[in-house]
Every structure is written in C-alpha cells, then in structure tokens.
Chain A
Amino acid sequence: MAAEAPAATPAHSLQALLDMEKMVLSSKTREAQSPTEKWMRYLGFPGGILLFLLVYYLPAGAGLSGAAQTGTACFALALVWWVTEPFPTYVTSLILMFLLLVTRTSPAKPIMDVLGMEVIWLNLLAFILSSMLVKTRLAKRMALWLIVKFGRKASWALLAFVILQLALSPLIPATAARCVMTLPLIIVVGTIYGSTEQTPNNFGKNLLLLNLAGISVLTSVTMTGSSANLVAVAFIQSMTGHRVYYMDWMIAGAPIAILTMLIMWFVGQRFIFPIAAGDQTPKVEGGLALVEEQHRSMGAFSFQEKKAMVIFGVVLFLWMTDIFHMRWFGVEISAPFAALIGAVLVLFPRYGVLQWSEADIPWHLLIFSAGAYAGGLALEDTGAAEWGVRTLFGGMNLKSIPFGAAFTLITGVMMYSHLLTTSKTVRTIILIPIIITMSKALGWDPVSMALPAALCIDWVVGLPISGKPNVILFSTNQYTVMDNFKFGMITCTVGMVLLVISAATWFHWLGITPSFWAMPK
C-alpha cells in the first residue's frame, strides 16, 4: 500500500540538505509510486462513486432526513477519494463542496463560509510564521542543535521530538500552532536523516507520524489542552453536577497519553516502519561531526534571527496566557488573532522579516481543509452524525453486558469516530451528551463513561483530514494517506487497550469507574 522507499538513501552534502528555501510546501502533487498505489487510484474513482450511489439510494433510516442521507453519501465518496487519491486531495475537496450544493445537502453560504473559519485563518497565519523561521535560518539552527544534542541515533532523535511535543502541549493549546512551530525542525531533521519529499524513508515516516500523534494525543494530558476538552468538562458538570478538576483530568489522562506515545515510539521504528540499519545515523557526508561543524559555523544569532525570536516570543506569550487576556486587555485574543499580530510584525514594511512573496502558503492545503470542514459540518448540521451515533449505540444492546464491555464499546466509538468528523468540538457536542444520557439510562455513574470518553477527544490521528496538524504535516509529501491511516489506527488501538486496562484497574481505584464486571442495574 505504502510508497516504496528506496532501500538505502544516498549521503548528501549538508549544505544541499539544509537549503530550506527549496523546501516549499505550496506546490505539491504526489505522484503514485507503487503498483498498489496506482491500482488504488484507478479503482478508487469508481469505488467512491459506487459507495455514493449505494448510500444515496438505500432505503432511508427512520430518523434520517434526505439531506442527511445525501450528505453521508457525498462524504463517503470524498473519503474514498481522499484515501485513494484519484485526484489530488484538494480537487476532491472542491468536488465535495460542489456535490453538497447540488444534492441539496447544504446551502451555498455555509459551504463558502468554511474558508473564513478560524481554523483556516490559523493555518494561513501559522504558515507565515513558519516561513519566518525558515527564512531567518532560526529553524535550521534549532534543528542542528537538536541533532547535535540528541541525534546520534535515529531512535533518540525521535524520542527528543516526543519530549518536545510533551513539553509544548500544556503551554500552547492550539495544536496547529504547535505543529507549525515544530514543522521546520521536523523537515530539517528528517532531511538530515535522508528523508525528503523525493526520497522519503522510514525514518521520515516515523518522525512525521510520531509528531502527528504526539501533537494530538498529548493534548489530552491536560484539561486545558484544547477547547473541546473544556466543552466536555462543561457538559459533564451541567448534565451530571460533577465537577472535573484539572488534576482529576491529568491523573486519569496523562499516563495513558504518555504511555501510548512511548509505545508508538518503540513500535513505530521497530515494526510499523522499520528503520534500516543504514538509516539509523544522519545521512550526510562527513556524518555527525559535520553537523556539529555546521552548527558551530552558524556563529552567533543574527539580527534577523533575534527579530524572529522576539516575534515568535510575542505570539507564544499570547498563546500561553489566553486565560488572562480578559483581565489584562478586556478581550480574549484567540489563537488565530495572536498569530495574526505575529504575521503583521513579520510582514511589516522595512522592519519586518518577510516580503509577502516569500511567505510559503500552501493554498491547496487550505482548500483541502475547507472541503473537509464543509463535509464535516454538513454531517453535523443535517443531523447525520448524531443519527449515526444513536443508531450505533441503539444496536449494541448495552443493557445486557457488563460495565467493562459497555465501556469498551462506548469509548471505542468515541476514539474511532474522528475518522468521520473533522472537528473535535463537534464530536464532543454530539457524543458526550449522548454518552451521559445513555449511562444514566443504564444505571452507570455518567462520569465513569463520559470522562474516559472525553480523554479520547484529541486523538485525531487516523487521516490527513482528521485535524489541522494532520493537514499541515501531510503537506510534506513524505507519507501516504495509507501510512497515516496505519500508524493512526495502531495509535488509537494502543490507546484503547490502555484505556480498557485503566478502567479495570486504576480508574476503579481512583473511584472513576465501577467494577469492570458489574452488570447494569
């Protein structure tokens, strides 16, 4: 399924590798590489159409509106095309937007409005900040430092990124911001290990997908990791009267998230995308000594680098202090607006760092995101997503099974549902109230189901459309949709296993869950 990587990547000159201005994100279309991928493309097109027709002409479900059914059909078609890529992903997004209109799933305005959504703005502005890090060579300096400190062996370089994402997760709530902040480092370190867009290798796949998982999964370490976590906590409080405190969340969520990342760090490089012995060390002529030499030769920080650090510091400060904004400024400066002020400083005439033409903005990714969001919103607005969840839960006969089995099914639905929706908040708004109501009906303490389910909100790692960081990292062209799916599903499954073990052990000891074998009252 995956693109065949060359067996051994040739050594490159470090100067050529680190010419980051050549690594533009804004003009990419992936070529099919392996025969499997070619067949997937060829058959994916009619496959998507057949799935569309099947869903469209199926007898309507009792609680399903016509728009919900056509919306599901359109999204199913797009999902098949995004995965098999008979067209570039952004063309599929444009087709999806057109289909949503002509099948009368959504009116024109909400479809067009997605390009003005906060998430699209945040992506756009974050790419400008990322371009600043590249142009001033700050990204190159940080990457070289990272390699000098931790990069003697591929596995340590990968672990360094896990630790970096863990350190950033409580500081910066916006996952896209965290992703863009680390993207230049990821690209350069990948390049030093021989993984480029033209010659992706298994180190690159591990690096990118481990970072993708880290950005998403480690967001569930803290309650304030994402706004969707806070929405879930608000639902739990208003519908059950139980207040979830910061430490309650962390004690339950942090061990699962951190342990999953460590397992994926080990399993990824050993079994999913095994790193060849030859790729275990930096693939540059002269080896690590040359990297150290290059780092030394950069000398002291340049004035432009210092400017970039100050600008990034301002944005970072605003991202980290959002809970105090109302008190300080009388208004909350959200993540996109913090990035916006950064972009203003970056592009400021004469005193800024970049010209507009130097900003590397991958518009095709923004169109791809817009289509995915339009499809996801259509599923939400038409009630298709909620109907699907209720039908699924309704068919499970949860009254006749012990708590542990019901827990596994319910948290499983929450964990894997991100494949069908593109917004964590929407998923939370649909699923958490249903889980709370259902738990009450079954006689379980609603918190015993809702809190563990809320811990799965941020695990959006299955597809490039599942989240903002996914779209951004996919732009590097170093892994396929199937690679993403494989790594993401294994991550979710590891997380599920840990969640279930937790429910049977320390969640029970902490008083969150009842006995694993208890039957409904």
Chain B
Amino acid sequence: MSRLLLPLLLLGAALSAAEIQSYATRVELSPDGAGRATTTLVIAGAANETVEIPVGLKASGFLLASGPKALGLESRGALVKVVLPPEPGVWTCSFTYTATGLFSPEAVAEGEKAKMPGSSRVVRAAFVNTYDDPITAFSLEVVLPAGYRFQAIKEALPKPTKKEAEPRVRLGRADGRQTALLQAAALKQGDSTSMVLEAVPSSRSLLWLVAGLGIALLYLYMFRDTVQSRH
C-alpha cells in the first residue's frame, strides 16, 4: 500500500505546484554597465505556497515593488523565494533589483583579434528555467542607455518554431531609447533562452557623407563625356 501511496503523494505535490503564468523582466541599462531591473510575475498558487523563482541575471538588492500585502520575498543567490498569501488565487507581484554584467565591452583574450570596434558594447542575457513547472510566457526587455543603438542581433535562442510568427528578439523604442525584447513561451524545466546583441553609439560618422559626395562629384566630372554630344 505504501508503495502506491508515495508516488500518489508526490504526484499530488507536483500537481499543486504554483503556476507561473507570466514572467516579465525589464532592465534599464546605464552607461556604466549596471542595470535597474523590474520583474513582474503572475502566479497562480495555493495558500502560503512557496515558489522559488529563477532570476537568470547577476542580481542583488531585491525589493518588493508591488503585490499583495501578505506576500513574502526573499533572495537566495540565483533564486528568489516568494511566499504566496494565505489564500489560493492568481497573484501579480513585482520586485526590483540591480542586475550586473549585461552591458560590457567585448572581452578579448590576449593574443586574440577584436571582432568589434572599441566603441561597441555587448548586451548578453540568458535565462534557464530551473522551476519545476513550465513558465507559460517569458519576456526579458533590455533598454539601452541614451546615446546607444543596437548594431546587430548576434544570437537569439532558441530559434523560432514554425508555429511562431514573432522573431525571438524584437527591437523597439521606449522613451527615445532603443529596446530589445526576448520572448519565449512554455519554457519547461531546463529550457533556456538567450540573446546577445551588439550596441554602438547612435551618432554616425560623417565620413560616408564626405566620401560619397566627393566620389559622386568626381564621377560627374570625369564621365561627363558619357552624355556630351560627339560634335
């Protein structure tokens, strides 16, 4: 009998695990590389249930920004422990923290050639779902500091499936600053998603303007015989 009871109890525990319906993080980067992050969660769970939420970023200084009064929050290294209120329900809460290591110059080992100009910065973010159950909708939005723009999306994983019309990473703009939004759905335990982007100063060199106009004028002078009358 006990052989049957134990798996049933475990199954019951698994079935009752809180469901993370939405996990959205927004990180506002500053030129020095630090980021101010806000994570908003929608969790459906049982009374007083403890949910250990993976953060995915190098983070410190967690603060509960909004949510039900009875909700508890505690950081544990790469995890945030959230204790749900004493009644079952669907709860929305958000917490803020400082994220580091997202926005930095390209790391070039000694003896290796640089692949980007010195003014470029790399935005690198990855998330692995270590939670027991799938995260229904995941998003991570990175907001560049003013004066920067994205040059290229170097990596966006996993590749979209045939059922996904949206690209994995979408660029956008908010308050005059460029943003990159990483989105994934139904991230099961162990699934990961990541993006690597190159950011550059948004002002463009006038070299192309000068060179382009110079060459165009030179051509008009040197090739004027193309349209001159033969007489």
B interface residues (Cβ-Cβ under 8 A, vs A)? 149-153, 162-167, 170-173, 178, 200, 202, 204, 208-209, 212-213, 215-217, 219-220, 223-224, 226-227
**The residue from B170, B200, B217, B219 contacting A66, defined by CB atoms under 8 A apart:** B200
B219, A65: Cβ atoms closer than 8 Å: no
A53 partner, pick from B153, B172, B208, B220, beta carbons under 8 A: B208
Task: Using A235-B162, A239-B162, A239-B165 as known contacts, list a sample of 10 further A-B pairs with CB atoms less than 8 Å apart, ordered by residue number in A.
Answer: A45-B220, A52-B208, A57-B204, A60-B202, A62-B178, A63-B170, A65-B171, A86-B219, A383-B153, A383-B167
Closest 5 CB pairs of A and B: A62-B173, A46-B216, A433-B165, A66-B151, A437-B165
How many chain A residues touch B (Cβ–Cβ < 8 Å)? 35
B175 to nearest A CB, angstroms? 12
Residues in A with CB closer than 8 Å to B226 are 32, 38, 41-42
Is A65's CB under 8 angstroms from B152's CB? yes
Q: Say whether B151 contacts A104, CB under 8 Å.
A: yes
Q: Which residues of A153-196 are within 8 A (CB) of B?
A: none
Across the interface, which residues of A come within 8 angstroms of B219, CB to CB?
Answer: 45-46, 86
Contact B153 A65 (CB under 8 A): yes
A57 vs B200: C-alpha distance when bound (angstroms): 15
CB <8 Å contact, A53 and B163: no
Q: How far is the CA of A50 from the CA of B220 in the complex (A)?
A: 13
A60 contacts B149, C-beta separation under 8 Å: yes
User: Complex Cα distance A512/B33, Å?
Assistant: 54
Contact with B along A10-38 (1 / 0, CB 8 A): 00000000000000000000001001001
- Taking CB atoms, residues of chain A closer than 8 Å to B152 are 65-67, 104, 382
Contact of A413 with B by CB under 8 A: no
With the chains together, A60 CA to B179 CA distance in Å?
Answer: 13
Can you list 22 residue pairs at the A/B interface with Cβ under 8 Å?
A: A38-B226, A41-B226, A42-B220, A42-B224, A45-B219, A46-B219, A46-B220, A49-B215, A52-B208, A52-B212, A53-B208, A53-B209, A62-B171, A62-B173, A63-B173, A66-B149, A66-B200, A104-B151, A239-B162, A382-B152, A433-B164, A434-B165
Please measure, in the bound complex, the distance between the C-alpha atom of A66 and the C-alpha atom of B153, giving whole angstroms: 10
Is there an interface contact between B150 and A66, defined as CB atoms closer than 8 Å?
yes
- The answer to whether B216 and A49 touch across the interface, beta carbons within 8 angstroms, is yes
A234 adjacent to chain B (CB < 8 Å) = yes
Does residue A386 face the partner (Cβ distance < 8 Å to B)? yes
CB pair B167–A42 under 8 Å, yes or no, is: no
Whether A259 is near chain B, meaning CB under 8 Å from some CB there, is no
Which chain A residues border B223 with CB–CB below 8 Å?
42, 45, 86
Query: How far apart are the CA atoms of A276 and B70 in the complex, in Å?
Result: 90
A interface residues, Cβ below 8 angstroms from B: 32, 35, 38-39, 41-42, 45-46, 49-50, 52-53, 56-57, 60, 62-67, 86, 103-104, 234-235, 238-239, 382-383, 386, 433-434, 436-437
**Contact: A38 with B171, CB < 8 Å?**
no
**Interface SS of A by simple majority:** helix
CA distance A67 to B227 in the complex (A): 36
Compute how far the CA of A383 lies from the CA of B166 in the bound complex, rounded to whole angstroms.
Answer: 12
Q: Known: A38-B226, A49-B216, A52-B212. Is A63-B165 also a contact (CB below 8 A)? A: no
Contact of A50 among B162, B166, B216 (CB under 8 A): B216
Cα A383 to Cα B164 in complex, Å, equals: 16
Tell me, in angstroms, the Cα distance from A383 to B195 when the chains sit together: 15
- Hey, which chain B residues are within 8 Å of A234, CB to CB? 162
- Residues in B neighbouring A437, C-beta threshold 8 A: 165-166
The interface centre, meaning the residue of A39, A46, A66 with most chain B CB atoms within 10 A of its CB, is A66
> Given A57-B204, A239-B165, is A49 in contact with B213 using a C-beta cutoff of 8 Å?
yes
Interface core residue of B171, B173, B224 (most chain A CB under 10 Å): B171
Interchain nearest-CB distance for A379 vs B (Å) = 13
B-side contacts of A64, CB under 8 Å? 171
Name the distance in Å between B15's Cβ and chain A's nearest Cβ. 29
Of chain A, the residue at the smallest CB distance from B174 is A62
When distances are taken between beta carbons in the complex, the residues of chain B under 8 Å from A45 are 216, 219-220, 223
CA distance A46 to B216 in the complex (A): 5
Q: Please state if B151 and A65 are interface contacts (CB–CB under 8 Å).
A: yes
A49 contacts across to B, CB distance below 8 A = 212-213, 215-216
Closest chain B residue to A59 by CB distance? B202
A53 touches B173 (CB 8 A): no
Known: A65-B171, A67-B152, A238-B163. A56 touches B204 (CB 8 A): yes
Q: Are B213 and A53 in contact (CB under 8 A)?
A: yes
Contact check, A65 vs B163: say whether CB atoms are below 8 A apart: no
- Least Cβ–Cβ distance between B9 and chain A, in angstroms: 39
Given the complex of chains A and B, what is the CA–CA distance between A63 and B166 in angstroms? 13
Among B150, B164, B212, B213, the residue within 8 A (CB) of A65 is B150
Contacts of A104 in B (CB 8 A): 151-152
In Å, the complex CA distance between A50 and B224 comes to 18
Could you say which of A38, A56, A436 contacts B227, with CB atoms under 8 Å apart?
A38
Q: Give the Cβ gap from B79 to chain A, nearest Cβ, in Å.
A: 33
Distance (whole angstroms) from the CB of A236 to the closest CB of chain B: 10
Note all chain A residues with C-beta closer than 8 A to B202.
Answer: 60
